[in-house]
C-alpha cells in the first residue's frame, strides 16, 4: 500500500529562542523511508532531531532562530509509491530595546527629547505615555516614529510636565516598554513682608535665604 498522510503538517507561527516540533502521521506498507526538506533542500540531523516511530514522523528544532522560517516538507516513500505534505513555519522576533531613553533634568521653557531604538519583526507599533496617559503629537509635543527608532519631543516644558514617560513597542510576537524620568526644575517667586528669612526646598536641596530689606522678590532655579 502506498504511503498516505492521516495527519498532515500544519502551519506554525512561533518566536525565536523556543522549541518547535513539526509532526505528521503516515500510513502504508513497510519498510518506509521518511525524508524532511526545508524550501526543497533536504535536512540533516546536525541541527534537527528527526524520528519516525509507529507511523508518526517528527522534526524537532531545539532553539528557533529567524533563519528557521520556511516551507517544510515531509516525504514518505515505500515500494508502492511516494507521498508528501507541506507546512509553513513562521518565526518572529519580539520587540527588544537596543537603546533606552535617559532620564533628564530640564529648565522651564526648554525642549526635552527622549530617544529610543529597538528591533523586532515588523510591523511594530510604537506608543508613548506619560504615566498611563497615551500621548499624541500636538502643540506641546511631537512623536517621531521610524522602523527601528522613535523619539518624543516636549516643547516649552513646565513643572507639570515632570514625571515618568514610557515608550511601548509591540508586534504580533510580544510587547515591551521602557521608561525615563523627566524633572522640570521649579521656578518660584516669593513676596516677603516683615520677614528677612525664608527656608525652602528645591528637590534634594534645602535653601535658607536671608533678606536685609522689608520687601523683596526672589527667584530660585
What are the strands of the beta sheet with 96-99, ordered from one edge?
96-99, 112-119, 149-154, 141-145
DSSP string, the chain: ---EEEE----EEEETTS-EEEEEEEE-SSS-EEEEEETTEE--SSSEEEEEETTEEEEEESS--GGG-EEEEEEEEETTEEEEEEEEEEEE---EEEE-PPPEEE-TT--EEEEEEEE-SSS-EEEEEETTEEP--SSSEEEEE-SSEEEEEE-S--GGG-EEEEEEEEETTEEEEEEEEEEE---EEEEEES--EEEEEETTEEEEEE-SSSEEEEEE-
- In a shared domain, residues 65 and 46: yes
Residue among 198, 204, 199 at smallest CA distance from 216 = 198
- In a shared domain, residues 201 and 158: no
d(CA 148, CA 70): 24
**Joined grid coordinates for residue 194:** 516683615
**Joined grid coordinates for residue 13:** 507561527
- In a shared domain, residues 179 and 109: yes
- In a shared domain, residues 86 and 101: no
What pTM did the predictor assign?
0.73
Residue among 101, 148, 108 at smallest CA distance from 124 = 148
- In a shared domain, residues 77 and 104: no
3-state helix, strand, coil in the chain (%, to 5): 5, 60, 35
| Per-residue model confidence (pLDDT) at position 47 | 82
Q: Which domain holds residue 158?
A: 96-184
Of the three residues 59, 92, 125, the one that is the final residue of a domain is 92
- In a shared domain, residues 119 and 162: yes
Per-residue pLDDT tens digits for 7-56: 999 999 999 999 999 999 999 999 999 999 999 999 987 789 999 999 99
- In a shared domain, residues 178 and 209: no
Of the three residues 35, 62, 92, the one that is the final residue of a domain is 92
- In a shared domain, residues 175 and 193: no
- In a shared domain, residues 158 and 216: no
- In a shared domain, residues 19 and 67: yes
Per-residue pLDDT tens digits for 91-127: 999 999 999 999 999 999 999 999 999 999 999 999 9
- In a shared domain, residues 29 and 69: yes
Which CATH number belongs to the domain containing residue 168 in this structure? 2.60.40.10
- In a shared domain, residues 11 and 47: yes
Per-residue pLDDT tens digits for 150-201: 999 999 999 999 999 999 999 999 999 999 999 998 755 444 434 555 555 5
How many folded domains does the chain comprise?
3
The CA distances from residue 186 to 143, 201, 219, in Å, are 25, 10, 10
Amino acid at each position: 500500500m502506498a504511503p498516505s498522510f492521516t495527519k498532515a503538517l500544519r502551519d506554525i507561527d512561533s518566536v525565536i529562542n523556543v522549541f518547535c516540533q513539526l509532526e505528521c502521521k503516515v500510513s502504508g506498507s513497510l519498510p518506509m523511508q521518511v525524508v524532511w526538506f526545508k524550501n526543497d533542500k533536504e535536512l540533516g540531523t546536525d541541527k534537527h532531531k528527526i524520528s519516525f516511530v509507529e507511523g508518526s514522523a517528527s522534526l524537532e528544532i531545539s532553539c528557533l532562530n529567524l533563519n528557521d522560517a520556511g516551507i517544510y516538507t515531509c516525504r514518505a516513500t515505500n515500494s508502492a509509491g511516494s507521498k508528501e505534505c507541506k507546512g509553513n513555519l513562521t518565526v518572529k522576533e519580539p520587540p527588544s530595546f537596543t537603546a533606552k531613553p535617559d532620564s533628564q533634568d530640564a529648565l522651564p521653557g526648554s525642549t526635552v527629547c527622549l530617544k529610543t531604538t529597538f528591533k523586532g519583526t515588523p510591523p511594530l507599533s510604537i506608543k508613548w505615555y506619560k504615566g498611563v496617559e497615551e500621548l499624541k503629537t500636538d502643540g506641546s509635543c511631537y512623536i517621531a516614529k521610524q522602523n527601528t527608532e522613535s523619539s518624543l519631543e516636549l516643547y516649552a516644558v513646565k513643572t507639570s510636565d515632570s514625571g515618568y514617560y514610557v515608550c511601548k513597542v509591540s508586534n504580533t510576537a510580544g510587547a515591551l516598554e521602557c521608561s525615563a524620568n523627566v524633572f522640570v526644575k521649579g521656578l518660584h517667586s516669593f513676596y516677603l513682608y516683615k520677614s528677612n528669612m525664608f527656608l525652602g526646598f528645591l528637590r534634594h536641596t534645602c535653601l535658607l535665604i536671608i533678606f536685609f530689606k522689608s520687601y523683596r522678590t526672589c527667584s530660585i532655579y
